[in-house]
Amino acid sequence: MVFPSSSVLRRFLLWTGAALLTGLLLVVLAVALFGWNWLRAPIERMTLQKTGRALVVSGDLTVGFGWPVARLHAAGVSFANPAWAKEKQMVTAEGVEVSLDLSTLLQRSMSFTEVRLDHAAIYLEQSTDKRKSWLLDTNQQDESARIHIGRVALDHGTLGYDDAGQKTSLRAELSTASGTANSAPGLDLSYSVTGQFKGMPVKVQGSGGPVLALRDTSQPYPLKLTASVGPTDVQVDGTITGLLALSAVDVQMALRGGSLEQLYPLLGIAFPVTRGYTAEGHLLHTDKRWRFEKFTGRVGASDIVGFVEVNTGGKRPALSAAVTSHLLALDDLGPMIGARSGSVAQAVKDPLAQKRVLPDLPFNAERWDSVDADVQLSAKTLRRAEALPLEDLTVHLNLRDSVLTLDPLNFGLAGGQLQTRITLDGRSSPIQATAQVRAHKLLLAKLFPTVDLNQTSIGQINGEFDLTGSGNSVGGMLASSNGKLGLMVAGGQISKLMLEKAGLHLWEILTLSLTGDKQVKLRCAVADFNVKAGVMQTEALVFDTQVTTLLGSGSIDLAHEKLDLTLTPKTKATSPVALRSPIYVRGSFAQPQLSIDKGQVAARAAGAVALGLVNPILALLPLIDAGPGQDSDCGQLVRDARALPHVASPHTQRQ
């Protein structure tokens, strides 16, 4: 192998060094004579070639070299949007200064550690076919064809974003207020935003730090804003780290809206339909966890405190929450189960309105797949109608793979417990529902708080309901339900006057009204219904005391909310004056109607009048109720009740 001589090598190095020095001197001379403006045309040509869009630098260009960061400043800059975009220019600015990380050029990418803009207008857009104007390939679809920007400093400017596919169009005006009396420390940038987000009107007023830390995770960005998005109002005050990735959030947040359901377009997570709400608390975010903690607020007339946490690291967001209410208004639960506001009150008030009592608004089961949830709710006191003896509430809600389970759903009721387990399977349409309800030690004296004669009653009610059904609302599920329903009271005491009124024993009613009410022994009470296709048919309906037995038959139509029951009183002791008649319970759930067999009562009264013409004493004979004269076995009464045919009222027969 032959090596060049030392003299030849020396001459090569000298010529090479001279060439490099000459080139450098020419560059220095060009910069000295003409500045850096000679670079504008090559940069513009290269940009057009790579992106298919025009870059224009109409002012002076200066370059400050350094390693690894070089600084470039240009005046009068514009960069075009793609031809399909609404706005012609993507960026226009009176002045642009960028800090270019030269080391990224070796990796065939480009990164600006910082960009400073003076009086800029920036318009970004995403098309319906998912092209993005900020991607710099010719088709605007290559996610790697973007410039990575660490921080942005804005003086005055306009930002715009359009996404027709998401019905979103936003315009923001920004200005710096550094050194003015109105600017809070660290919040020199003021901004306002108007437009629409996912079809909802948006309005934002806020302030923040003068430098937008888009990717910088070393310095939290201070932020303060007041916003309205559709029906939802938000206030935020705190810091955000990494504005693009939201790597950390630590803010105080206040929310106000017409229903929690309205958060779905904003968060993509299903929440229940509620009355108007407010909440204020501490919002934290790290990694994949969002936590709204130590919040207080109201839903309707009910107070709430607790926390909500969402973890976004799984197949779908996983929400967990624990909420407590010291005073929960029962009406505020109505929208959650599909009850129309004021529907029950209107139906009761107006018999011609034909309004339904059972909730009939459908659940949004198609949204249940957006989240898995585990929620605990407890209420220490319930605000409810006087006639409804509910006391407290405990709920554990679990939603997984579109199957919603309430287990338990427990109410304190009339001094006892109503223990419930409900499953709603939203994977099918209509929703498949199952419900198991256990009534445990309900006190007779508290069950009907508005009935004065019942206040001194003694006895406990126990029972079980087991129902299955299908439907997209509570009313629909009950209208198709099948199963069993049973209630029983074994022993106790009850108002004698109330029983005599049920038996239409006029003499005893008059006597007890003058001398005072008494308690009589309640031997047993049984209500046993078989439910098929939404119709509750009596298997046994018995109410047995030492003075009277009531035997019932008939049905309750859950689909049409109609009552059709017949109660037949049987007196155990002779009553000198009684208008003995079956009692008919008819009408709707909203307008129940009690009536008697007027023909039978009239016949007894007519007989008394006819005999009275012969002898006044004989007039009492048709009104005397001799009774069976004995106490019957409760078990036998139940068997007798099950053997009863359904007896229609005269009104029903005429129909």
- Judge whether 85 and 133 are in contact, CB under 8 Å: yes
Cα–Cα distance measured from residue 168 to residue 200, given in angstroms and rounded to the nearest whole number? 8
Residue 127 has pLDDT above 60, yes or no: yes
Q: Per-residue confidence at 102, pLDDT binned at 50, 70, 90?
A: confident
The answer to whether residue 84 sits within a structural domain is: no
- Quick: pLDDT tens for 43-82: 999 999 999 999 999 999 998 888 889 999 999 999 999 9
Q: Which two tokens stand for residue 179?
A: 């050194």
Give the range of the structural domain holding residue 596, as residue numbers without chain letter.
523-654
Weakest mean pLDDT among 234-243, 265-274, 329-338, 517-526: 517-526
Weakest mean pLDDT among 133-137, 198-202, 546-550: 546-550
- Confidence at residue 627, expressed as pLDDT on a 0 to 100 scale: 46
Of 330, 413, 436, which is closest to residue 379 (Cα–Cα)? 330
- Judge whether 523 and 543 are in contact, CB under 8 Å: no
Weakest mean pLDDT among 12-26, 259-273, 443-457, 583-597: 12-26
Residue 649 has pLDDT above 50, yes or no: no
Residue 572 has pLDDT above 80, yes or no: no
The answer to whether residue 341 sits within a structural domain is: no
Number of H helices, E strands in the chain: 11, 33
What element of type H or E holds 44? helix 40-51
51 or 349, greater pLDDT: 51
- Judge whether 379 and 392 are in contact, CB under 8 Å: yes
- Confidence at residue 597, expressed as pLDDT on a 0 to 100 scale: 59
Cα–Cα distance measured from residue 271 to residue 321, given in angstroms and rounded to the nearest whole number? 12
The answer to whether residue 504 sits within a structural domain is: no
Q: Which two tokens stand for residue 232?
A: 């939802």
Question: Residues with Cβ < 8 Å from 37, sequence gap 6 or more?
Answer: 60, 61
Peptide bond into 68 cis (omega under 30): yes
Query: Once rounded to an integer, what is the mean pLDDT over residues 200-228?
Result: 87
Q: Which residue has the tokens 């007039």?
A: 619
The answer to whether residue 448 sits within a structural domain is: no
Amino acid occupying residue 238: G
Q: Give the pairing type, strands 302-311 and 168-176.
A: unpaired
φ, ψ (nearest 5 deg) of residue 368: -65, -20
Peptide bond into 389 cis (omega under 30): no
The answer to whether residue 620 sits within a structural domain is: yes
State the DSSP code for 4: P
- Judge whether 611 and 621 are in contact, CB under 8 Å: yes
Q: Per-residue confidence at 106, pLDDT binned at 50, 70, 90?
A: confident
Report how many domains make up the chain. Answer: 1
- Judge whether 50 and 136 are in contact, CB under 8 Å: yes
Cα–Cα distance measured from residue 214 to residue 154, given in angstroms and rounded to the nearest whole number? 13
Answer yes or no: pTM beyond 0.85: no
Cα–Cα distance measured from residue 445 to residue 416, given in angstroms and rounded to the nearest whole number? 11
- Judge whether 428 and 417 are in contact, CB under 8 Å: no
Of 365, 378, 448, which is closest to residue 413 (Cα–Cα)? 448
Cα–Cα distance measured from residue 504 to residue 522, given in angstroms and rounded to the nearest whole number? 19
Cα–Cα distance measured from residue 498 to residue 298, given in angstroms and rounded to the nearest whole number? 42
The answer to whether residue 111 sits within a structural domain is: no
CA 141 to chain centre: 36
- Confidence at residue 6, expressed as pLDDT on a 0 to 100 scale: 59
What element of type H or E holds 551? strand 548-557
- Biggest CA pair distance of the chain: 162
Q: Where are the beta strands (DSSP E) in 576-620?
A: 583-587, 592-596
Weakest mean pLDDT among 13-17, 147-151, 386-390, 538-542: 13-17
3-state SS class at 294: strand
φ, ψ (nearest 5 deg) of residue 81: -80, 165
Residue 637 has pLDDT above 90, yes or no: no
Cα–Cα distance measured from residue 304 to residue 158, given in angstroms and rounded to the nearest whole number? 41
Q: Per-residue confidence at 512, pLDDT binned at 50, 70, 90?
A: very low
- Judge whether 459 and 509 are in contact, CB under 8 Å: no
The answer to whether residue 376 sits within a structural domain is: no
Weakest mean pLDDT among 36-40, 251-255, 311-315, 492-496: 492-496
Cα–Cα distance measured from residue 147 to residue 541, given in angstroms and rounded to the nearest whole number? 79
**DSSP per-residue codes, 392-410:** EEEEEEEEETTEEEEEEEE
The answer to whether residue 82 sits within a structural domain is: no
Q: Per-residue confidence at 643, pLDDT binned at 50, 70, 90?
A: low
Average pLDDT, the chain: 81
Q: Per-residue confidence at 257, pLDDT binned at 50, 70, 90?
A: very high
212 or 530, greater pLDDT: 530
What element of type H or E holds 213? strand 211-213
Residue 513 has pLDDT above 60, yes or no: no
Looking from the CA of 366 toward its CB, the CA atoms found within 13 Å total 2
CA 94 to chain centre: 48
Q: Is 617 exposed, middle or buried (0-12, 13-18, 19+ CB in 10 A)?
A: exposed
- Confidence at residue 556, expressed as pLDDT on a 0 to 100 scale: 94
Weakest mean pLDDT among 105-114, 339-348, 434-443: 339-348
- If you average pLDDT over each of 187-196, 453-462, 570-579, 602-611, which comes out highest? 187-196
- Confidence at residue 223, expressed as pLDDT on a 0 to 100 scale: 92
Q: Which residues pair with 427 in a beta bridge?
A: none
Cα–Cα distance measured from residue 637 to residue 620, given in angstroms and rounded to the nearest whole number? 30
189-209: b (≥16 Cβ within 10 Å) or e? bbbebebebeebebebebbbb
Q: Mapped to the 3 state alphabet, what secondary structure does 22-45 carry?
A: HHHHHHHHHHHHHCCHHHHHHHHH
Q: Please list the helix, strand and coil fractions of the chain in percent, rounded to the nearest 5, in that order.
A: 25, 45, 30
Question: Residues with Cβ < 8 Å from 24, sequence gap 6 or more?
Answer: none
- How many CB atoms neighbour CB 277 within 10 A? 22
- How many CB atoms neighbour CB 240 within 10 A? 20
CA 26 to chain centre: 71
C-alpha dihedral sign at 184, 187, 189, 190: negative
Cα–Cα distance measured from residue 340 to residue 627, given in angstroms and rounded to the nearest whole number? 48
Q: Which two tokens stand for residue 24?
A: 């450098």
